[in-house]
Chain A
Amino acid sequence: MSGRILTFNIFRFDPQDAGDKPKMVKYQLEETSGMTVFIALNKLRQEQDPSLQFDFVCRAGICGSCAMVINGFPTLACRTLTAKYPKGEITLMPLPGFELIGDLSVNTGKFMRELAERLKLWLHPKSDDLNIHRLEDPMDPEEAARLYELERCVECGVCVSACATKQMRDTFVGAVGMMKIARFELDSRDGRSADDFYHVIGNQDGVFGCMTLLGCQDNCPKDLPHMQQIAYLRRKMASTLL
């Protein structure tokens, strides 16, 4: 037990309270060994301020609920150890680019559902004649492994919050949208053609809006290859014009 005193500077704002104004509030807490931001925030809420709003679900880096900006960098709070900060000063802000629910809680779910509906982010099978009682169609084992690699996105919203294009253009689909398009584009079971995808993201809201600043790739907690996928989609989209 190290027992040092941590200082948390936390963004507080309740948009539903007409009289409330955004502010930073300072809290102090004794550090325990293995403490994560998840543990710290729960302790603060239970012991110091029961109104503090934040989101966690799996607390294991799997579900993507708890993304927030920690000392300037967007990341998953559940797996961020407080020991990582030698000065013991931790500033917490909500993810930018999403509707604020309150304090550190933002509505990523609403954003992701709308994105999925807009880009039709589901498998469009080549054939409707799929019989679940018969042997499944074979699939190249390497293709399956490649698809899984791209599918590991947890919709945490970090890439969106770290994207300068998204800050300027609200309709930009962000790395998360392109990663998912790439995942379905690569899937041999999907019946959509390159043209179909071009109509969805072959524009300034999609691959041609990206400024390649790579905030997405630098901050993605799942280390997804965003740069590679965006470049791949650009080449693919450009080739449909020929």
Chain B
Amino acid sequence: MKLIYTDCLVVGAGLAGLRVAIAAKERGHDTLVLSLIPAKRSHSAAAQGGMQASLGNTVKGLGDNEDVHFQDTVKGSDWGCDQTVARMFAHCAPKAVRELANWGVPWTRVTKGPREVVVNAERITIEEAEAAHGLINARDFGGTKKWRTCYTADGTGHSLLYAVDNKAISLGIPVHERVEALSIIHDGERCHGVVARCLITGELRAYIGKSTTIATGGYGRIYEVSTNAIICEGIGQALALETGVATLGNMEAVQFHPTAIVPVGILTTEGCRGDGGLLRDKDGYRFMPDYEPEKKELASRDVVSRRMTEHMRKGKGVDSPYGPHLWLDITLLGRKHIETNLREVKEICENFLGIDPAKDWIPVRPTQHYSMGGIRTTPTGQSPQLKGLFAVGEAACWDMHGFNRLGGNSLAETVVGGMIIGKYVADFCDDNDLVLDTGLAKRYVDKVRAEIDELIEGKGTENPWELKYAMQRVMMDYVGIFRNGPELDEAVKQLKALLARSVNLGVSCKKRHANPELVEALRVRRMLKVALTVACGAAARTESRGAHAREDFPQRNDKDWLCRTLASWPDANALEPKLSYEPLDVMQMELPPGYRGYGADNAIAHPDTAKREAEIAELLAALGPNASREARQQALMPFELPESLTPANERLADRLNGLVNTETTGSPSMPNIAGDDNS
């Protein structure tokens, strides 16, 4: 058995994993990253539109700050998020953007003077301040009060990943490429590392670390059509689930992006709508203002996806061999804008559709896009059940997204979460020792080896690709944008049958080294368990919240469901996970549940909401009208961060005014006075 020791082991070399590795390495810990592929090919590279951070440099971002970003994030989550985490995140996002500039990201910058933009289908001119010239620019995105999404054209993820990976290379952090983690080594209380397989040689290795961080991204590929890279198969979540101890959080919260191209599901960025693009139906009619008169195309993603689906159900979709779709019209932005700020979109249109988006409309429909659920962690990024196991980025349920993520908040989460959690990982490595038990490691390696032996030498006849495709169809047909009891029950039934069949998997290619069929077989039964946590969680949650929309329970029910779903798999032979629930405490919230701003307000209130609102009013009154916004925030919901991240963020307005302008920023508990809506 080959055994490799490091202090800080990271599984996954996307932005979140690399950022954690950098934080640990900078603190002097020996650090090692495992990756299925070369780091720069990670799915982080596909993020197009940008990263939210309340810099407030542009005229449309004036008055933005951590409070407004926090409020947008909590509302976007449909009150499903951990507000402490949302606060930690909003506070550190500007720092992460500025750090990335220092690492080489060529952020698009503000040019002083008049600038022509498209807002609500009209060309208008805005005037950028002279003092803002050369500072980091921001574009509009859905569900935000301010233009807050920092970007590099529509290749933001690419720029960020390259800068962060280059930083990791400069620090000498090794990345073991083409290595797949297949099992977490643990003793029921403490994580010791992972068993991983080299995808070239087939060698099994035990990687042992004081800390193990799972940063393997989302589980979009349990669905047939997804905007995700084909490696986003939820294996990180499955590894945690298979410990039988660690829990996953809110796995039923799956986001559909409104505008993926038809039929292949490749994403066109929300920046298309942020920059002024429109949605049209088969008659060329712009329908979003009818449904969401205030926010129109820039309502939250879950809302736009549902409205599009509703509109297609009314027969307004364009017929195609792949089912109905709608149109995304960015022609009004002009060729110059498209060829500079939306060039990835242009290339995708040319290569996959053979159209020119400066002249032609783009066929789009909502498509699986993001996994809000993941490995449940505390605000420090650690699993509450397995000491030394951390998770970060889309792989985690750190829980700043709750039941719906705002565009631009996931790219931000990777680097901001990595920045914060990386420091906690380093602290953990400082403060904790690991007793190296090679016998324990060997037992886990032997178990994986036995699994491989069985697949290669056993009598199994089930084809891995067939099982995977059947699972993807079930998820697509029954666990989609709109959900209901009978369909979810059917999904659970069919997925259980598939999991039962997976015991009988076999491979026809008998190689022990590079063997794509074996790779598939090892993944598919793990993916089935992840799919079951999604379907079972969705069947059990009899309400609608964020991206989880139950046709049979259309109300958001704070009375019964203001809680996080936890899923674990204590019995390895069981066909379904064990679900439990973790309440969200209204009395600890800075922003108690309220109206989200879309459609009719049909939420069933939590009994504590009114009580907490009264308490907040009292706390604020006691502080008096002259208290700073920081003091108000601290009084309502104190939160902690590593010391080096606690300083306040300076903004252009501070420099111009010589002080924080509290009048334009408002109180954190009164969301509607925090600046103008730009819808």
A residues in contact (CB < 8 Å) with B: 1, 14, 16-17, 33-34, 36, 45-46, 50-53, 55-65, 79, 81, 101-102, 105, 108-110, 112-113, 116-117, 120-123, 125, 130, 132-141, 143-145, 147-148, 151-152, 154-155, 184, 187, 189-190
B294 part of interface (Cβ distance < 8 Å): no
Q: Could you tell me if A53 and B514 are in contact, using CB atoms closer than 8 angstroms?
A: yes
Closest chain-B Cβ to A66's Cβ sits at a distance in Å of 10
Q: Say yes or no for B153: interface residue by CB 8 A criterion.
A: yes
Query: Any chain A CB within 8 A of the CB of B136?
Result: yes
Question: A141 and B108 in contact (CB under 8 A), knowing A50-B509, A57-B37, A110-B177?
Answer: yes
- Chain B residue nearest in CB terms to A56: B230
Are A61 and B104 in contact, with the CB atoms below 8 A?
no
Would you call B98 an interface residue if the criterion is a C-beta within 8 Å of the partner chain's C-beta atoms?
Answer: yes
B522 within 8 A of A: no
Count chain B residues whose beta carbon lies closer than 8 angstroms to a beta carbon of A: 77
- Considering the chains assembled together, what is the distance between the CA atoms of A109 and B651 in angstroms? 40
A86 to chain B, nearest CB (A): 15
Q: Give bound CA distance, A134 to B136, whole Å.
A: 13
Closest-CB distance, A112 to chain B (whole angstroms):
7
Residues of A within 8 A of B99 (CB): 130, 132
Give which listed residue, A53, A60, A113, contacts B38 with CB less than 8 A.
A113
Contact of B45 among A58, A105, A122 (CB under 8 A): A58
The list of the 3 closest CB pairs from A to B, nearest first, reads A109-B38, A138-B134, A123-B104
CB distance from B646 to the nearest CB of A (A): 9
Q: Is B650 an interface residue (CB 8 A)?
A: yes
Give CA–CA (A233, B153) in the complex, Å: 26
List B contacts of A190 (CB < 8 A): 104
Chain B: minimal CB distance from A85 (Å) = 15
Q: Which of B40, B107, B229, B465 has the most CB of A within 10 A?
A: B40
Whether B102 lies near A130 (C-beta < 8 A) is yes
User: A64 — which chain B residues lie within 8 A by C-beta?
Assistant: 40-41
Beta-carbon contacts under 8 Å, B207-246 to A: 229-231
Cβ-defined contact, B508 with A50, below 8 A = yes
Q: Please give the distance in Å from A192's CB to the nearest CB on chain B.
A: 12
Residue ID in chain A nearest B132 by CB atoms: A138
Q: Given A16-B513, A116-B166: A61 and B159 within 8 A (CB)? A: no
Mostly, the A contact residues are loop
Pairwise interchain contact A148-B516, C-beta atoms closer than 8 A: no
What are 10 sample pairs from A and B whose C-beta atoms fall under 8 A apart?
Answer: A36-B352, A51-B516, A57-B37, A65-B37, A101-B178, A109-B37, A139-B101, A144-B106, A144-B109, A148-B153
Interface residues of B (CB under 8 A from A): 37-43, 45-46, 95-99, 101-104, 106-111, 133-137, 152-153, 155, 158-159, 162-163, 166-167, 169-170, 175, 177-178, 200-201, 229-231, 263-264, 266-267, 321, 340, 344, 347-348, 351-352, 354, 465, 507-509, 511, 513-517, 647-652, 655
- Verify B229–A63 contact, CB threshold 8 A: yes
Known contacts A136-B135, A141-B111: A61-B348 contact under CB 8 Å: yes
Contact indicator A102/B111 (Cβ below 8 Å): no
**Pair B511/A51 contact, Cβ less than 8 Å:** yes
Residues of A within 8 A of B267 (CB): 60
Cβ of A62 and Cβ of B264 under 8 Å apart? no
Which residues of chain A come closer than 8 Å to B110, judged between CB atoms?
Answer: 141
- Min CB distance B94 to A, Å, is 8
Contact between B340 and A61 (Cβ–Cβ < 8 Å)? Answer: no
How far is it, in angstroms, between the C-alpha of A163 and the C-alpha of B153 when the chains are bound?
A: 30
Smallest CB–CB gap between A106 and chain B, Å? Answer: 11
Instruction: Give chain A nearest CB distance to B271 CB in angstroms.
Output: 14
A51-B511, A51-B517 given; A34·B166 CB < 8 A:
no
Contact A101 B200 (CB under 8 A): yes
State whether A123 and B103 are in contact (beta carbons under 8 Å apart), knowing that A50-B509, A57-B230, A136-B135 are contacts in the complex.
yes
B41 touches A136 (CB 8 A): no
B37: min CB distance to chain A, Å: 6
B98: chain A residues within 8 A (beta carbon):
130, 132-134, 136
- The answer to whether B46 touches A50, judged by C-beta atoms less than 8 angstroms apart, is no
Q: How far is the CA of A144 from the CA of B151 in the complex (A)?
A: 11
Partner of A51, one of B40, B354, B515, B651: B515
Other 16 A-B pairs with CB < 8 A, given A51-B517, A57-B37 = A16-B513, A16-B514, A33-B321, A51-B515, A57-B43, A59-B229, A63-B46, A81-B351, A113-B38, A113-B169, A125-B102, A134-B650, A135-B135, A141-B109, A141-B134, A145-B340
What residue of chain A has the Cβ atom nearest to residue B231's Cβ?
A57
Measured between alpha carbons, how far is A42 from B214 in the docked complex, in Å?
Answer: 28
Closest to B41 in A: A63
Q: Is the CB of A62 within 8 A of B152?
A: no
- A138 is contacted by which of B133, B155, B344 (Cβ under 8 Å)? B133
Residues of B contacting A122 in the complex (Cβ-Cβ under 8 angstroms): 103-104, 166-167, 169-170
CB-based contact B41/A60 at 8 Å:
no
How far is it, in angstroms, between the C-alpha of A151 and the C-alpha of B40 when the chains are bound?
13
Residues on B with beta carbons closer than 8 Å to the beta carbon of A36: 352
**Cα-based distance from A187 to B348 in the complex (angstroms):** 28
- Chain A positions within 8 Å of B97 at CB level: 136
Given contacts A62-B344, A122-B169, A148-B155, contact A138 B135 (CB under 8 A): yes
- Residue from the list A109, A112, A148 in contact with B106, Cβ < 8 A: A148
A60 to B350, CA, bound (A): 12
Contacts of A57 in B (CB 8 A): 37, 41-43, 229-231
Q: Could you say which residues of chain A place their CB within 8 Å of the CB of B169? A: 113, 116-117, 121-122
In the assembled complex, the Cα of A152 lies from the Cα of B161 at a distance in Å of 12
Cβ–Cβ contact B45 & A133, under 8 A: no
Chain A residues near B106 (CB-CB < 8 A) = 139, 143-145, 147-148, 151, 187
- Docked CA distance A27–B352 (Å): 24
| A63 CB, min distance to chain B CBs, angstroms | 4
